[in-house]
A and B are shown apart, each in its own frame.
Chain A
Amino acid sequence: MPDYALMNQRVFEGDRESVAEMTRAALEAGRPPLEVLEDGLIAAMRVVGEDFKYNRIFVPEVLLAARAMKAGMAVLQPLLTSSEGDSSAGTIVLGTVKGDLHDIGKNLVGMMAEGAGFQIVDLGTNTSAEEFIAAVREHRADILGMSALLTTTMVYMKTVVDEMRAAGLEHVRICVGGAPISQAYADEIGAHGYAADAGSAVQLFKRLVAPSAPPA
């Protein structure tokens, strides 16, 4: 039986090489890929998430752990069936809206969500509704995440929400964030969720893709 506790510890420490190697060793020992994923990697990231939430660790440690987990994932990925491969928490298309070049917050949201097992398609900044919609279609995204930092560009979020609807993509959950955005604004434009920071954004994403989540 692989030492999953030690593997969790290595993920926690951000030790990429050891995690990749222990993943390989577990597979060679005949353990099922899904078990290695769940007990060796995801379990560790759950602790990371909790520790960050309760201020026991900081942003750099979270990102290091996420990187180590990715190293393990890279070994596992080819062995997971396509449905198991989809055991990634979900796909998020992320971008800063048209006219807006602020991306620090959006990048953090992406990094933290990736750490929590989401697949991120980052469209960068200055993103138009057409670009969002094309990416959502191409990657069959579960969530569309938009960021805006300017009072003059936040209004574009409504355009995207409307065009997503017009494009028949009502099933995709739309989340918004950024300094000028609020829950009230998210409600006003018909977005499905708002988060004030990257930590709560990840919680929000998880809630929205949970099987029990209410339909969009």
Chain B
Amino acid sequence: MRPHLKMLERSLIERILDETFTVLESTGILIDSPAGFERLRELGLPGDDATRRVTFPRSTVERAIADAPSAFTLFDRSGEPFTELAGDRVHFVPASSALRILDRSSGEPRDATSADFVEYARVADRLAHIAYLSTAFIPKDVPSDIADGWRLYLALATSEKPVVSGAFTSHGVPRMAEMMSLFRRDREDLAARPNSIFTCCPSTPLRWAEDAIQNLLDCAGWGIPIEVVPVLLLGMISPATTVGALVLHSAEVLSGLTIAQLVRPGTPVLFGGAPASFHMQLMTNPMTAVEALQVYCGYAAIAKHLGLPCQAYMGLSDSKLNDPQAGAESGMGMLLAALAGFNSVSGPGMLDYVNCFSLEKLVFDDELAAHALRFTRPVEVKDDLPTRPLLDELLRENHLLTAEHTLERWPEELYLPGPMIDRTNWEQWDLQGRPDSTARAGELIETALEDYDVPPLDPALDAEIRRLFSSTCNEPGVELPALVERR
């Protein structure tokens, strides 16, 4: 059996869902965009002109849940199947869209450049337990209106792996989708072989803002897999308690899922989220708060109950540095995410309330991901039941180091962590020059950069994409940065 976190009784899940359907059917969702509101009415959702709220009949939502795939495949840059988001299969992914990065030499946060992004993408591409990439932060050396698409281009140009991304404006998705379709035969081929998941965020409570609804409609129109990510702040814009929060959260996710299915039945939708607590003194939004972790694991259970793939912002930290708090929060989040069976876990690399990305943290989190994934391996009988023959051998030989069972099993059973987890004894560590975790992370980053060997984009394709950006941005003809890493 695969170790699994059981958080909610089936009967409670059903009560939460009943209430969720009632909220959707009676309170409904505010659509903060006249065009978006009209479009949803055209799609058949009842809407009130005066309040611009649409409601979701239970049967419509249930049909949408049935239409939404319970699993889907992400493809690589060249269109080969890369991985399946299905069942309890867990993928750890760098968290998305930081405002700044933690500079490796000064240890201070600063604005990022395209070169920083290329460096990040090269490292992330090499990490064994980081399943695919995200557009982790925003380079500030390009016009701001193309920054969202530009970072996706940098990711696609640097790595063949899929990318979690998203648009920053109401017109952002079409340009990004056009670009992705250049890697496929045509638009339909992109929908059939998607390379990216896009984040779409409702505005809690129970609202889709103008940009967000347009992004959602556009993503579904293009058949781009969507993660619907509400950000509840417990006690502020959400009930402070878990069950109430789960109702609100589920209503928002299912509103997005239903809209996506009405636009294009079969669009992959992840039951996502980034719930946070609200700090009643500091007014901050800790996503790593222990009560928020309970909401995460709770909605994973609801998603599983509905047979939907799920996503979470877990494995990040609210600390400003790669300190014990960062390790503890990230480790706790990642282990819980793995136990809950989240299919896509956005968190590695992120500090400071999703505001600051650290490459050193990413390589540390790669190790934590390895640990979390190993913990969820099924516990099975492996020639060790009955156990007495093994124990007899142990008593006879005083050890099992050379036993046939050990020789055959230990390489698979006993995990040797990489350098980020220090397993030396004091003397060994002292002899090695007492390397701290920052130094060890630095070495791993350098190794990853040296090992990087992804073929560059076809020059004609590359030129076409760059033309797309330079011709459609606010500063037409602007010289866009070359693809070099920061050394």
Q: Decide if B209 touches A125 in the complex (CB within 8 Å).
A: yes
B144 contacts which of A60, A105, A152, A179 (Cβ < 8 Å)? A152
Q: A99-B169, A151-B140, A155-B144 are in contact. Are A59 and B99 (CB under 8 A)?
A: no
A-B contact count, CB below 8 Å?
49
Given contacts A151-B138, A151-B147, A152-B144, whether A126 and B281 have CB atoms under 8 Å apart is no
The answer to the question of A130 belonging to the interface, with a C-beta cut-off of 8 Å to chain B, is no
Q: A151-B140, A152-B138, A152-B148 are in contact. Are A180 and B280 (CB under 8 A)?
A: no
A200 to B280, CA, bound (A): 15
1/0 per residue, CB under 8 A from A, across B443-478: the answer is 000000000000000000000000000000000000
A58 and B140 within 8 A (CB):
no
CA distance A143 to B203 in the complex (A): 27
Determine which residue in B144, B145, B210, B355 has the highest number of CB atoms from chain A within 10 A of its CB, and name it. B144
Q: Does A80 contact B (CB under 8 A)?
A: no
Known interface pairs A101-B211, A104-B236, A152-B138. Does A179 touch B145 (Cβ–Cβ under 8 Å)? no
Given A101-B210, A152-B145, A179 and B281 contact (CB-CB distance below 8 Å):
no
Chain A 138-164 near chain B by CB (<8 Å), digits 1 or 0: 000000000000111101000000000
Pair A152/B281 contact, Cβ less than 8 Å: no
Size of chain B's interface in residues, with CB distance under 8 A? Answer: 27
The CA-CA distance from A55 to B168 in the complex, in Å, is 37
Q: Give the distance in Å from the alpha carbon of A151 to the alpha carbon of B145 in the complex.
A: 10
Asked if B229 is at the interface of the complex by the 8 Å CB criterion, the answer is no
Q: Is A189 an interface residue (CB 8 A)?
A: no
Contact present for B283 and A108 (CB under 8 Å): yes
B145-A104 in contact (CB<8A):
no
Q: Is the CB of B209 within 8 A of A101?
A: yes
**Hey, which chain B residues are within 8 Å of A58, CB to CB?**
280-281
Tell me the smallest distance from the CB of B101 to a CB of chain A, in Å: 12
B362 at the interface (CB under 8 A from A): no
Tell me the nearest residue of chain A to B209, going by C-beta.
A101
B400 interfacial contact with A, CB 8 Å: no
Please report the C-alpha to C-alpha distance between residue A179 and residue B99 in the assembled complex, in whole angstroms.
Answer: 8
A197 at the interface (CB under 8 A from B): yes
CB <8 Å contact, B210 and A126: yes
Instruction: Determine whether A48 belongs to the interface, using a CB cutoff of 8 Å to chain B.
Output: no
A152 touches B147 (CB 8 A): yes
> Which B residue sits closest to A52, measured CB to CB?
B281
Q: Cβ of A11 < 8 Å from any Cβ of B?
A: no
Distance of A180 Cα from B111 Cα, bound (Å): 10
Give the nearest-CB partner of B32 in chain A.
A101
- Is B168 touching A59 in the complex (CB atoms < 8 A)? no
B219 within 8 A of A: no
Q: Does any Cβ of A come within 8 Å of B66's Cβ?
A: no
| A78-116 at interface with B (beta carbon < 8 Å) | 99, 101, 104-105, 108
- Within the complex, the shortest CB–CB distance from B154 to chain A, in Å, comes to 15
Contacts of B169 in A (CB 8 A): 99, 152
- Chain B CB within 8 A of A73 CB: no
CA distance A179 to B168 in the complex (A): 16
A/B interface sample: 12 pairs, CB < 8 A:
A55-B281, A59-B278, A101-B209, A126-B210, A150-B168, A151-B138, A152-B138, A152-B145, A152-B148, A155-B144, A180-B100, A199-B283
Taking beta carbons and an 8 Å cutoff, which residues of A are in contact with B?
55, 58-60, 99, 101, 104-105, 108, 125-126, 150-153, 155, 179-180, 197-199
The list of the 7 closest CB pairs from A to B, nearest first, reads: A58-B280, A152-B144, A101-B209, A180-B99, A151-B138, A59-B280, A152-B168
